[in-house]
């Protein structure tokens, strides 16, 4: 069956609005379903189904890789990669001094 989904609300500052939404959820002024639906992501039920399916998939893949490698993996997600995909100053070698790159050679 087809359900109508409202488009996402328009904002000039999505970060500020997201912060306000979280504060309203914490203060029990708004429930999480209102936030999901206001962003045009479909129903809250659909959101929860996607969320828990993704969690189950993550656990399944982690167990599979642990069996293949014999290593125990952390549940923590990997750190995000900076935009552009590379490290800071990787081509010149100059930008990594503060991140600990110089300490390894001393």
- Considering the entire predicted model, what is its pTM? 0.52
* pLDDT tens-digit map of 34-79: 888 877 878 889 989 999 999 999 999 999 999 999 999 887 777 7
User: What whole-number distance in Å separates Cα of residue 73 and Cα of residue 69?
Assistant: 10
- Residue 70 pLDDT: 93
6, 44 in Cβ contact below 8 A? no
What residue segments make up the domains of the chain, in order of their start?
Answer: 1-42, 52-76
- Residue with the bigger pLDDT between 4 and 63: it is 63
How high does pLDDT run on average in the chain? 76
Helix locations, 1-106, DSSP H: 14-26, 32-38, 44-69
Count CA atoms within 13 Å of residue 53 on its CB side.
6
Q: Decide if pLDDT at 22 tops 90.
A: no
Tokens, residue 94: 């100059």
């Amino acid at each position: 069956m087809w359900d109508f989904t409202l488009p996402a609300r328009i904002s000039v500052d999505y970060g500020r609005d997201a912060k306000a939404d979280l504060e309203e959820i914490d203060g029990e002024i708004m429930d999480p379903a209102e936030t999901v639906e206001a962003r045009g992501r479909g129903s809250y039920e659909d959101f929860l189904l996607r969320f828990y399916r993704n969690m189950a998939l993550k656990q399944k893949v982690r167990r599979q890789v642990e069996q293949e490698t014999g290593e125990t993996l952390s549940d923590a997600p990997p750190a995000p990669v900076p935009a552009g995909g590379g490290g800071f100053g990787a081509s010149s070698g100059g930008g990594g001094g503060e991140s600990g790159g110089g300490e390894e050679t001393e």
